[in-house]
Amino acid sequence: MEAAQALADLTEISAQIEAAVLAKPDGSIVASTTKDEGRAKQLAEAAVELVAAGSESRSEGRNLELVQLQAATPRGSLFVARDARHVVAAITGSRPTVGLVFYDLKTCLRMLEDEEAKADKAAQAEKTDKTEKPAPQEQANVGKATTRRRTPSKKEADEGS
C-alpha cells in the first residue's frame, strides 16, 4: 500500500480526523492529506519534536520510547503515533474518541509496515533469483517425466538366482 493511500484510508475510516501527515523519524514528509505543504511540514516537524521531547523526559536512565501521544486544546486535538520507520500525526476536532483515533493511527502504521515487509521480501527474492539460477541441465529436466525401472522384490531376486 502506498503511503498516500494509507492516509486516504485513515481519513475515510476515521471521520474525526480532519488532517493527517505521515513522516519519517527525521521529520521529512512521506504523505499528507492537506494540500498546504507548509502546514503539512509544520505538523510533521511538531509531531517528531513532541515524540522526541516525550521520549527524553520519560527515559531518565531507562530505555523507554514514546510511541503515542495526544495534545488536547478546547478547539481540537493532535494525535501522534510512531513505529520504527514512521510517525503519523492527525488533527481532530474537539472531544474526539481518543482510543479509536489511536487505534486508527496504529492500524495505518501496521498496514504500511506489512506492505514494506512484503516489498522488501519480494525485492530480496528477485535479487536471489537473479544470482542463483539453476544450471541449464537442471532447468531442462524440471517438470519432465522420467522412466523408472522396477526394482525386483526380494522373492523375485531369490528365484532368479
pLDDT tens sequence across 87-121: 999 999 999 999 999 999 999 999 898 888 887 78
Q: Is 93 helix (H, G, I), strand (E, B) or coil?
A: coil
- pLDDT of 18 above 90: yes
Question: Residues 65-80: what's their mean pLDDT?
Answer: 93
- pLDDT of 129 above 60: yes
Q: How far apart are CA 90 and CA 19, in angstroms?
A: 6
- pLDDT of 2 above 90: no
Query: What number of residues does the chain have?
Result: 161
What the block records as the C-alpha cell of 72 is 488536547
What's the confidence (pLDDT) of residue 66?
A: 85
HSE value, Cβ hemisphere, 13 Å, CA-based, for 43 = 29
Ramachandran area for residue 19 (φ above 0: left; ψ -120 to 50: alpha; else beta): beta
What's the confidence (pLDDT) of residue 49?
A: 92
Sheet holding 29-32, edge to edge: 29-32, 17-23, 87-92, 77-82, 68-72
Q: Average pLDDT of the chain?
A: 83
What is the per-residue pLDDT across 27-65, written as a single tens digit (0 to 9) for each? 999 999 999 999 999 999 999 999 888 877 655 656 677
